[in-house]
Amino acid sequence: MAGRDGGFQGYVKPFFENLDFHNTEDKNKGIGARLWEHLVATAAWIVKDKSRDQVATRIPFEGKFGDAKVGLFATISNLFRHGFIRAFNPVVEGSVHADNVLPTGKSADGNPVKKNKPDEIPAQTKDAAVPKPRA
């Protein structure tokens, strides 16, 4: 996460390994609770990276303090990306920088955090100037 002048942006990468939705108390639960458990377990199995036995995503966020916005579509697509295309690494990407954050929480260079692909650092050149926020 990075912030400046009341604006911020960043991401969270939660990882869940060896998920098990069954327990010995299932016999005492109602049919609705058991159906919900099976639905969640099925959804987790679908988006799980089978080789690592883990479910992970990248949740981007940005905004001003008191007015945060979370990239829901990016979060859901990242679930499928981790499960089917390329598994994420549990590392900090280095893709968020305070000098690129406007007071609104938007990126000064026009590349929102939610559009950065996980584990890929956005291309930056020495000559690329980051626009300065307006006073």
69: nearest Cα among 131, 112, 16: 112
- Res 47 pLDDT > 50: yes
* Amino acid letter, 127: D
Asked if pLDDT for residue 28 goes beyond 80, the answer is: no
Q: Is 85 helix (H, G, I), strand (E, B) or coil?
A: helix
Residue 55 parent element (H or E): strand 54-56
* 36-41: average pLDDT: 86
19-28, 31-40, 59-68, range with the lowest pLDDT: 19-28
pTM of the model as a whole = 0.73
